Amino acid sequence: MKIGKETIPKTSISTSNADTIIVRGKNLSTELIGKTSFVDYFHLLVTGNAPTPAASAILNATLVAIAEHGLVPSVQASRMTLAAAPEVFQGAVAAGILGCGSVILGASETAGRLFWEIRERAGAAKNYHEAAREVATEYRNARIPIPGYGHPLHKEGDARVKALFDVAVVEGIDLSFVHIAQALENVLPEVTGKKLLLNVSAAIPAVLLGIGFPLRALKGVPILARTAGLIAHLAEELEQPIGFALSYQATREVQYAGSTPEDFIPSH
């Protein structure tokens, strides 16, 4: 079935013949394997260009920042999935990635779009405070949550944010989006009535946009990062399984709120 107008698929990422694989114009075997790091290769794959050393440092720092945060819900989902289907490593990874949605990890992309919008609004004048106030107020009025601010655990500020911004300063990248992110943090109490500090999901796009990483690929960064964390958890699960123990603990205090037959005696 034909859906849409395009019928000839085009791609600019790679091609090959019987002997040679070309990726982004380079010979994979002679110019890339052993010659470039995986993270620089990721940058090349996504953008078509090798990163500058500063861009490479930033991309590495963001991937390290977000790869692992303990037994968060998506890691639990992944470990329970491996416990139930231990022969399917990739299925458990996929289950964990499916939890990288709007609430947990998706904020990297939506915060990136928000910063972009503030920068557009500020225009040549670059009054980021005023633009941040305007855009945040519009989000507020449209009842759209502000992505990338506040955290259930780190109420006094997320140390990962400071670490990422430090790398940005040391590497000398464009700090426009860092300033926008901070401007927004400053106006949020006024707009929302709450102190909502920058969290890691806002710091990531703030520094990635500063190296020219494309908006549309932002969501890929937490996904790639989290995949590394999931693989570590699943390797641990294969050695020391806890998927079913997590599941058991999760339901110890479950309350059944439905009806039961008269003669039914609950077991817990």
Site for its own copies in 21-40 (CB under 8 A): 21-30, 32-34, 36-39
Confirm or reject binding of residue 125 to its own copies (CB under 8 A): no
Whether 217 contacts 109, CB under 8 Å? no
In the set 123, 142, 143, 156, which binds its own copies (CB under 8 A)?
A: 156
Structure tokens at 266: 């609950």
* Cα–Cα separations (whole angstroms), residue 115 to 103, 185, 225: 18, 11, 22
Residues 158-197: x/- map of binding to its own copies (CB under 8 A)? Answer: -xx-xxx-xx--x---------------------------
* Cβ neighbour number for residue 178 with a 10 Å cutoff: 23
- Residue closer to its own copies, measured from CB, 102 or 186: 102
* Cα–Cα separations (whole angstroms), residue 213 to 58, 167, 251: 10, 16, 42
- What length is written for the chain? 268
Confirm or reject binding of residue 141 to its own copies (CB under 8 A): no
SS3 at position 129: helix
- Residue closer to its own copies, measured from CB, 133 or 185: 185
Q: Pick out residues in 42-81 that bind its own copies (CB under 8 A).
A: 42, 45-46, 48, 57, 59-61, 63-65, 67-74, 76-78, 80-81
User: Looking at 119-127, 137-145, 183-191, 231-239, which segment touches its own copies (CB under 8 A)?
Assistant: 231-239
Structure tokens at 163: 């670490």
